[in-house]
Amino acid sequence: MKITMLGTGNATVTECYNTCFVLSGDGKHMLVDGGGGNTVLRRLKQAGTDWKDIRDIFVTHKHIDHLLGIIWMARMICQNMSRGTYDGEARIYAHDEVIALIDDMARKLLSAKESAFIGKRLHLITVGDGEEREIIGRKFAFFDILSTKAKQYGFCMDLGGGEKLTCCGDEPYNECERRYAEGSKWLLHEAFCLHSQAGTFKPYEKHHSTVKDACELAERLGVKNLLLYHTEDKNIKNRKELYTAEGRRYYHGNLYIPDDMETIEL
């Protein structure tokens, strides 16, 4: 298994793309979120992944920096189904509110000829809190992170051999996620900025974490590998160095601060 970070930034970044990524293994790919626009198509091309090979998509929540790229994916899928240049089926997974929103937007924004494939070959699949599904040959458990901003789900993926990867979405860890996050081989967690710059970026006002917060959490939960994303972009040139230096003070596992388009073996 590997993860390719198509984007690593927060909602308003301009120096990188919004946070979204692809999980790949055994020739299968799952896209998680889509960023805020059709840059997701460019990022997939740059990664050497044909968008037509993305047959499974998971959307964490409705914020535009996660959702709008999914509408572009839906357009490309349905358009090519209509043209006879897309074989088989595709699936989008999310909680009920996001599924309803995608269905409504797609039917309003796509042509009738394209939207006719929604529910027939492009399946919009609602997942519930604690629900398990097999996707890309792996077992996924989805969970409500109990966001106070917009309903949001994370997930835990079975890596085999008793190991797991847990994605906490783009908000700080909530104790309701402990059963999934604790002891994870990989934890994907947001880190809006350096703790030393919290006064500048005000992460807590936006319900986000600092690097220090995320690293202290991973240390406490016994996480082996911590991957930080959904950051500000004012420190983008030195982000990896700066975030790593701060994080190492609080976390003693393997710390990853990926750039856009970076691929990491899981």
Handedness of CA 11, 16, 19, 20 (dihedral sign): positive
* CATH of 2-265 given 3.40.640.10, 3.20.19.10, 3.40.30.10, 3.60.15.10: 3.60.15.10
In the numeric block, the tokens 């293994």 are attached to 25
Give the model confidence (pLDDT) of 185-219 as tens digits: 999 999 999 999 999 999 999 999 999 999 999 99
Q: For the residues 92-112, what does the mean pLDDT come to?
A: 98
Mean pLDDT of 164-168: 98
When pLDDT is cut at 50, 70 and 90, the band that residue 176 belongs to is very high
Average pLDDT over residues 91-97: 98
The pLDDT of residue 187 is 98
* pLDDT band (50, 70, 90) for residue 48: very high
224-233 pLDDT per residue, tens: 999 999 999 9
Can you give the pLDDT at residue 99? 98
pLDDT value at residue 173: 97
- Res. 129 pLDDT band, cuts 50 70 90: very high
Which strands make up the sheet holding 90-94, listed edge to edge? Answer: 122-126, 90-94, 54-58, 28-32, 20-25, 2-7, 263-265
Specify the pLDDT at position 53: 97
Q: Identify whether the C-beta of residue 266 lies closer than 8 Å to the C-beta of residue 2.
A: yes
Q: What is the CA radius of gyration of the chain?
A: 18
pLDDT bracket for residue 3 (50, 70, 90): very high
Mean pLDDT of 95-104: 98
Q: Quick one: pLDDT at residue 156?
A: 98
Whole-prediction pTM: 0.98
**What's the pLDDT at 246?**
98
pLDDT given at position 195: 98
Residue 158 confidence class, pLDDT cut points 50, 70, 90:
very high
**Confidence (pLDDT) at 142:** 98
Q: Are 67 and 40 in contact (CB under 8 A)?
A: no
Q: For residues 235 and 240, give the distance between their C-alpha atoms in angstroms, rounded to a whole number.
A: 9
